[in-house]
Amino acid sequence: MAASHRLARARALTDRAEKLARPVARRWREPHRLVTVTGAWARMGDPRRAAAAAKAVAAQARADDPFHHIDLATAYAWIGSLDRVRRHLNSARELIPAIEADGIAMIAQGALAPVLTYLGDLGPAEEIARSLPDPSEQINTLLRLARCAQPDHPPSVVEPHDAARLTGEAARLARDTPSLNGPARVRMCIVHALLLQGRVAEARELAEEIALLLLDVDGSDHAYAAEMFSRFPDVERTLELAGRAEPLVAAETEFLTRVHAQAALVTAYTRAGDEDRARRLLSSIDDLFYRKCAAIGLAEALADGGDFGAAERILSTIGNPDSDNLGREIQADGYLRIVDRLLSPGPAAHEDTPAPMRRIAIFGCGGAGKSHLARRLAVRLGFPATHLDDHYYDDGWNPAPADEFAATQRDLVGADRWIIDGNYASTLPIRLARADTVILLDLPAHTCLWGIARRRGRHRITLPFLWYVIRYRRTMRPRVEALIAEHAGHARYLRFTSHRQVNRFLAAR
């Protein structure tokens, strides 16, 4: 899949996730998912949407909750508002001593550490990690600091060599603490950290040590080991461990232990290529909530292999997001996990070799310059441009019947070479299915309004049309991007946000 189309798909899914997450945040006063939305927009280079999502986090955060202040600090770090990061970091620090449960207070203290790295303070962040009384929480916090070097975290002072050092310290602590609670599971977290850093040989060596630890152990850890080996990937070892784990997990009497292990097996089987077995196991999970959570693992594993369409289809079946807050929350989480895969290097992340442009569909707000671009491209490429407005309206501005207009477009796209500009979202899939190049002119509203003013007299301008232009980016663009993601996965996708970008593109033809 071309990198440009990955970005279009990521934008469409992030928009979908945000629409799901906002009402849940209002209903439950739980803004954490919107922090991830903020980060997704920031990673895609959309500061306006990122700032709007951060504002939504602030609107739902509770002033007496230290975790909400940590969420706010993270959201503001994504948009570079470091003064606000400091303010909410200090607020969280003041509130943590009032937490009565020691375990929760320790988790909150560990969650502060990454925020310090967003402010350039790695030393104090490491001191927090080492000061925690529970070795498992020390290891978790060291690994959390190492993760700050990854692109799914706000800009941080943590560099790759810091991440390697912190992960090494966590590994030594795990090895030197005989009384560690859940030693195999803790070491699996270290394996994951090593894989994120590209240290595959070290990760594999530690994974083999974990497998030896599990030889005399019965229980759910075998399921997590299978999921761990599926990340390398090692199909034979994954299926061996999963087959050993499945009857043990089915016999597990503790409910949460069983359903979490079943979810891990669903992911492991999917990564190992046995999707039928994964789906059978998924259907056997009798609790609806945990079945939905396991479905996210299935979708995530498919996305790891580059099958983003199948991942989206699975997520679209989760619950009824129109009436179910839980369904919205889980679905938003799933979409954001797919977005992370789309924005990260992976097996499907390589840019396709550019092919000649023969069938070009141009979309964008009224006044953005679609027809002007189509005419200029026609001159450069030597084949005709079609303006859909000319086929939709007659001389008296009467619209064509819907079926007739759709048939006209099917005839137009049947040609070997064409350039077609125009929106008409209801028939947009007709053009997308045949286009090899999709261009979205995503220009600011004031630029489009100026373009409309300059063409006055040549086109009909009404107040509803002007209102449509003003709200295009908020209401129409997400729909267009979703249709592009759904129907034009095969096509080159180009999105221009200024006339300067358009001119550079034309100069290179």
pLDDT digit string (tens) for 312-355? 888 877 755 445 677 788 889 999 999 999 888 654 433 334 45
How far apart CA 93 and CA 85 sit, in angstroms, is 12
Residue 200 in tokens: 């595959």
For the chain, what is the total number of helices (H) and then of strands (E)?
A: 26, 5
Instruction: Give me the chain's average pLDDT, please.
Output: 88
pLDDT of 93 reads: 95
Q: For 437, how many CA atoms within 13 A lie in the half-sphere containing its CB?
A: 18
How far apart CA 33 and CA 54 sit, in angstroms, is 11
Q: At 85, is the pLDDT very low, low, confident or very high (cuts 50, 70, 90)?
A: very high
pLDDT of 324 reads: 64
pLDDT of 459 reads: 57
Q: Is residue 103 over pLDDT 60?
A: yes
pLDDT of 350 reads: 34
Q: At 480, is the pLDDT very low, low, confident or very high (cuts 50, 70, 90)?
A: confident
Which DSSP symbol is given to 98?
G
Q: What is the pLDDT of residues 209-235, one digit of tens each?
A: 888 888 766 667 889 999 999 998 788
Q: What are the phi and psi torsion angles at 70 (to 5°)?
A: -65, -40
Q: Is residue 165 over pLDDT 50?
A: yes
* 358 within 8 A of 487, measured Cβ to Cβ: no
Q: What is the pLDDT of residues 221-280, one digit of tens each?
A: 889 999 999 998 788 889 989 998 999 898 888 999 999 999 999 999 999 989 899 999
Q: At 159, is the pLDDT very low, low, confident or very high (cuts 50, 70, 90)?
A: very high
**Residue boundaries of the structural domains of the chain:** 359-507
* 114 within 8 A of 125, measured Cβ to Cβ: yes
Q: Is residue 458 over pLDDT 60?
A: no
Q: At 487, is the pLDDT very low, low, confident or very high (cuts 50, 70, 90)?
A: confident
**Could you tell me the pTM of the whole model?**
0.72
Residue 285 in tokens: 């999970």
Phi/psi region, residue 79 (left: phi>0; alpha: psi -120 to 50; beta: rest), is alpha
CATH code matching the domain that covers 359-507, chosen among 3.40.50.850, 3.30.70.260, 3.40.50.300, 3.10.20.90: 3.40.50.300
Buried b (16+ CB within 10 A) or exposed e, 111-134: bbbbbbbbbeebeebbebbeebeb
Q: At 483, is the pLDDT very low, low, confident or very high (cuts 50, 70, 90)?
A: confident
pLDDT of 321 reads: 46
Nearest in space to 345 (alpha carbons), one of 151, 143, 202, 148? 151
Q: Is residue 395 over pLDDT 80?
A: no
Q: Is residue 297 over pLDDT 70?
A: yes
State yes or no: cis peptide before 233, omega within 30 of 0.
Answer: yes
pLDDT of 313 reads: 83
pLDDT of 184 reads: 86
